[in-house]
Amino acid sequence: MGRYFQFLPFLLVSFLNFIKTNAQQEFLNCIYSHTSDKNIEKHIHIPKSPTYSYLLEYGQKNPRWLNSSSSHPIFIIAPINESDIRAIIFCSQKFDIQIRVKSGGHDYEGLSFRSKKGERFVIVDLFKLDDIYIDKNDETAWIQTGVTIGQLYYEIAKKGENLAFPGGLYPSVGSGGIISGGGIGTLMRKFGLAADNVLDARVMNVNGEILDRESMGKDLFWAIRGGGGSSFCVILAWKVKLVRVPSKLTVFTVRRKLYGETINLLQRWQNVSHKLSRDLFMRVLIQNMGIGSKRIVQVSFQGLFLGRVSELLPMLNQTFPQFELVTKDCFQEPIVNCAIGLPCIKKECFEVPWIRTTLYFASKRTNDSIEFMVNKTMPKRKNYYKATSDFVKSPLPKEVWGMIRTMFRDEERPMMIFDPLGGRMDEISKFEIPFPYRKGNLFNIQYMVNWYDNSENISNKKIKWLRKLYEKMKPFVSHFPRNGYLNYRDLDFGKNDGEYRYSNSRVWGEKYFDGNFERLAKVKSKVDPSNFFRFQQSIPPFSVST
């Protein structure tokens, strides 16, 4: 009798696998029977297929979780018709399967393509829903949410040099995510956020209904413009307002080592950058450059001006004469192959059409091909990273810059980016959309550390360093609550651990949305009371007692 018992574990595993496989097939059969697309099977990718592995790897712009069991969906579904998503929503509810909707894949914590361990989920990859319709006369565009920011910029440029869109900096970022999270960019001081320039939207709700601005109602339309659309519905498309820009704009960078006079420049920058002409956006980047004993901490003052060099230079020379930026600096390409990796030209500026400014802020040369904006090849070298953010209401004390320099010299590949606010941002109410960081906020800080070796020891060390820097900055940034930007999502702020209670979620929700979080939760209660659209930092339904 005993020899039969030795086969029980094997039989039990086989039986469970049979149940699992059978349930997955029933889920697929459900989708097949609820869609009119007879070829839907071709767009469903199962774990053993080469396309599944490719889509999973390509979709994770931060591949920290690629080898984690929590990042493997049971299927990846890449619909070619918006109506196919209705079947996915219906069948996922029927079989208690979660969905993760991926637009570009730049979610900093990977929540658009992974789930908690033990949760069954499918990825709805929208990359094939990438139609763009631009009305040049009306100066508007309808874009499906599989469209990347680079694709949108590329198509706008084909219509002429005087139209633009105030979106983000990196071409491969998906429009679905960046717009629904707010959309900080180089044009925001003139025109506001990407979300401030949304005129209409098409979404699919939990019941599979397609709604536009009128039929979804003002509350849901408010929530998806900066509150994170994936908590409420599936964003299908945006109608956005394009903006007019001059035929020639000026981009520039002035580089300094972080010590001495540069600290005075940084003090000057943080006191005036939000007060400058709204035609001028000038951010600060702090990075480690070089290797080993030649490592230095570099500060880059990088700007975009909506006008020509002849208009910019008098303005800069009055406010920042130490830059010593003159006309002859503005018409040469930088040499970047220096011995320790530093640009050999400490200052540069270029007068170019708007589309070439987007190349510049994507770390390309202004004379590179604009085809880069629509390039979808997978990077040859994986870059892993951890990031977080702050908003600043009062200028940082002088000693902060010395602390940053000390910490940066002890770490490889860290970065801080300071984006100035002010201008148009000050004129929009903090209640207009869920993004609340308007008048009274000087600038945003993004913290990031990168690494190439994702072994546990290396990744833990890098993340520990970033958390230490974030903690050291605590006395100098916004507080009660300490704020952060949704599109730089950070699970260290807090997360839902299965119960999705409003009271628990306030810990992180008010960091992102301040006083707008309660309204977001009330919208959630109306449009998704059963909390189908949920993940570790999703908006929960509102409740007074829990």
Tell me whether residue 518 is exposed, middle or buried, using C-beta atoms within 10 angstroms of its C-beta: 0 to 12, 13 to 18, 19 or more.
middle
Partnered with residue 461 across adjacent β-strands are none
Choosing from 488, 500, 502, 512, which is the catalytic residue?
488
Q: Please say whether the beta carbons of 361 and 253 come within 8 A.
A: no
- How is residue 132 annotated by DSSP? E
Helix, strand, coil tally for the chain in percent (to 5): 40, 20, 40
d(CA 270, CA 274): 8
> What is the sign, positive or negative, of the torsion defined by CA atoms of 230, 179, 487, 56?
positive
> Which structure tokens are listed for 354?
């708007």
Partnered with residue 282 across adjacent β-strands are 303
Order of all β-strands in the sheet with 249-257: 347-352, 249-257, 296-305, 280-289, 414-420, 443-451, 384-392
Read off the amino acid at residue 200: D
> What is the sign, positive or negative, of the torsion defined by CA atoms of 428, 429, 432, 434?
positive
CA-based nearest residue to 131, from 117, 143, 141, 118 = 143
d(CA 319, CA 496): 47
Q: What is the DSSP string of 161-206?
A: TTEE----S-TTSBHHHHHHH----TTHHHH--SGGGEEEEEEE-T
**488 a catalytic residue:** yes
d(CA 270, CA 443): 8
Query: Catalytic residues, which ones?
Result: 488
